[in-house]
């Protein structure tokens, strides 16, 4: 069994990371042991200051006027996001969340003629609820059908099964998940996307749990659409997200929710969409949050995603080893390659009880239940799991603190 970045010893610190400095610059580290980074990470002080300073400028000068002053800085946020994803700036837009961008792209694909009655939509079995429910909604309107591609015995997307499903024809799109919200396995996303691309199938990738903790390069992946969020591993503000729309594929997308920033009203009965990902950019945005996201992305780029992935992967693998050494604790991640999400159950205790006990000890973890990942949770798998997700600023002592909670529960 391996994790997403190999070749480093457990708990080694990559040269680019000064953990003490990162913790000192993260106010929340002084008050809580935060192992819920797959939910929302603790922000860096610089990100907090970026947001607050712009809000103060809005209060002193006016919202429109402050936004006008920040035009170049907002443009730089998109440029930084493009660097992070290996894309061109014209292919990237800042959104309100992963789900917002993904939903607009999905319905835009339908409105652009990409989905019709009888067409097949392929998904993997670790699909997240908001994405899958969006597919159900579109399928109900269009008459398309949804088909879940089997996984291997360890839960990873089965590439042979995907190839077989593609070969049966009439596939309009594939919705693929890089990392699921409820287990730490990493899908072979590039291999899967290339199979879809070779079959001429539009490919949407959910990178919500991978952007910021793993390298995500859209050129390597080869997808048409990729979405993510700012609040998780990027350590950005809530209410921010990213969307990548491959150059040329935008012509097939007619997104909902147009306004004068995403399209031009050219005649009484006509409008023209803006080029590329600009058609996903609305007029009204939380400028302070977007600027804060830019600061968070720039910090990620400064540290280096490879260094972050190495640190996160080592911490997570160490936590798995500590957890399984506790009688009554079972780790449920699976996967040949794993990342910073660690999921487990404790015999005799509902995951919510475990999370509550951790909270009493000043430790943040979360619980993922079946409705969030219905294709994978339940049946032979648990219907709910505890999710711990260490980031690079976490320490071994914080992992040991969680293990102390587990040992106390199992005594």
The model scores a pTM over 0.85: yes
| Residue 5 confidence (pLDDT) above 80 | no
Q: Would the CATH topology of 19-43+305-410 be identical to that of 48-302?
A: no
| Residue 169 confidence (pLDDT) above 90 | no
Q: What is the pLDDT of residue 11?
A: 67
CATH of 48-302, one of 3.30.70.330, 2.60.40.1110, 3.40.640.10, 3.40.718.10: 3.40.640.10
Q: How far apart are CA 228 and CA 212, in angstroms?
A: 9
Q: How far apart are CA 309 and CA 129, in angstroms?
A: 26
Quote the strand ranges of 15-90, DSSP E.
Answer: 33-34
Q: Which CATH class, in words, describes the domain spanning 19-43+305-410?
A: alpha beta
pLDDT digits (tens, 9 = 90+) for 315-326: 999 999 999 999
Q: Distance of CA 34 to CAs 187, 214, 268, 297, 361, Å?
A: 26, 19, 54, 20, 11
How long a stretch of residues is the chain?
411
Domains of the chain by residue range: 19-43+305-410, 48-302
pLDDT digits (tens, 9 = 90+) for 37-85: 999 999 999 999 999 999 999 999 999 999 999 999 999 999 999 999 9
pLDDT class of 140 with cuts at 50, 70, 90? very high
On average, the pLDDT of the chain sits at 95
* Mean predicted confidence (pLDDT) in 132-161: 97
| Residue 8 confidence (pLDDT) above 50 | no
Buried/exposed 116-126: b ≥16 CB within 10 Å, e otherwise: eeebbbbbbbb
Of 68, 70, 69, 88, which is closest to residue 78 (Cα–Cα)?
88
Of 185, 191, 142, 141, which is closest to residue 166 (Cα–Cα)?
191
Q: What is the pLDDT of residue 185?
A: 97
């Amino acid at each position: 069994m391996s994790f997403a970045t190999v070749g480093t010893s457990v708990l080694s610190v990559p040269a680019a990371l000064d953990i003490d400095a990162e913790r000192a610059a993260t106010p929340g580290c002084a008050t809580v042991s935060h192992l819920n980074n797959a939910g929302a990470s603790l922000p860096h002080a610089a990100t907090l200051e970026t947001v607050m300073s712009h809000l103060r400028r809005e209060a002193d000068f006016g919202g429109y006027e402050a936004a006008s002053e920040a035009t170049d800085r907002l443009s730089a946020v998109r440029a930084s996001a493009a660097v992070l994803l290996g894309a061109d700036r014209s292919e990237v837009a800042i959104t309100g969340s992963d789900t917002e961008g993904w939903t607009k792209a999905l319905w835009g694909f339908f409105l652009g003629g990409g989905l019709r009655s009888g067409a097949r939509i392929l998904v993997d079995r670790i699909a997240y609820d908001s994405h899958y429910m969006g597919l159900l909604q579109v399928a109900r309107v269009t008459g398309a059908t949804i088909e879940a591609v089997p996984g291997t015995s360890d839960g990873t997307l089965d590439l042979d099964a995907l190839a077989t499903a593609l070969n049966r024809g009439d596939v309009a799109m594939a919705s693929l998940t890089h990392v699921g919200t409820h287990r730490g396995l990493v899908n072979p996303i590039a291999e899967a996307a290339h199979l879809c691309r070779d079959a001429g199938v539009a490919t949407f990738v959910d990178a919500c749990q991978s952007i910021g903790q793993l390298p995500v390069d859209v050129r390597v992946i080869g997808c048409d659409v990729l979405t993510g969020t700012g609040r998780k591993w990027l350590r950005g503000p809530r209410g921010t997200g990213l969307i990548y729309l491959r150059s040329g594929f935008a012509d097939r997308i007619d997104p909902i929710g147009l306004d004068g920033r995403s399209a031009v009203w050219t005649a009484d009965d006509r409008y023209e969409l803006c080029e590329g990902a600009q058609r996903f950019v609305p007029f009204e945005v939380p400028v302070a949050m977007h600027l804060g996201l830019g600061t968070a992305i720039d910090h990620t780029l400064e540290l280096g995603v490879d260094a972050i992935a190495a640190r996160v992967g080592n911490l997570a693998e160490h936590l798995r080893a500590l957890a399984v050494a506790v009688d009554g604790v079972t780790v449920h991640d699976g996967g040949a390659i794993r990342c910073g999400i660690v999921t487990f159950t404790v015999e005799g205790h509902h995951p919510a009880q475990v999370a509550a006990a951790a909270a009493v000890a000043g430790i943040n973890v979360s619980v993922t239940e079946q409705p969030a990942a219905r294709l994978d949770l339940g049946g032979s798998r648990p219907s709910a799991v505890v999710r711990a997700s260490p980031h690079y600023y976490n320490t071994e002592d914080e992992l040991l603190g969680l293990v102390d909670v587990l040992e106390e529960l199992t005594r």
